[in-house]
Amino acid sequence: NAGVTQTPKFQVLKTGQSMTLQCAQDMNHEYMSWYRQDPGMGLRLIHYSVGAGITDQGEVPNGYNVSRSTTEDFPLRLLSAAPSQTSVYFCASRQGAGSNQPQHFGDGTRLSIL
């Protein structure tokens, strides 16, 4: 199994550009989420989904959009990139609703906004 796959691994954007970070999982997990990781800040939840067609906001949702049309895919969109969005982005999935379920993470997308 590939687990959680994120693409691209690295990306440089100019302020104002848009892009989509891709995330796919092959474990048939219901729950998927996006985090950003900044030095000294830990992982912060951006958006999450509890199943296909259902999404909700996390701690830091501003500037990001998500959709969940299939169980496998959960893309993250930056509509108008800002330097404050320079970060490492991680996608994660887990089996179900309980917080006793371990999360599986991708290896991240390193995004720089100039």
Query: Which residues of the chain form contacts with another protein (CB under 8 A)?
Result: 4, 31, 33, 35, 40-45, 48, 50, 56, 58-59, 90, 92, 97-100, 102-108
Residues 37 and 60 sit within 8 Å (Cβ to Cβ) = no
| Number of CB atoms found within 10 A of residue 31's CB | 19
Query: At closest approach, how far in Å is the CB of 14 from another protein?
Result: 24
Q: Which residues of 71-103 are buried (b: 16+ CB within 10 A; e: fewer)?
A: bbebbbebeebeeebbbebbbbbbeeeeeeeeb
Query: At closest approach, how far in Å is the CB of 29 from another protein?
Result: 13
The smaller minimum CB distance to another protein, of residues 14 and 42, is found at 42
The smaller minimum CB distance to another protein, of residues 17 and 43, is found at 43
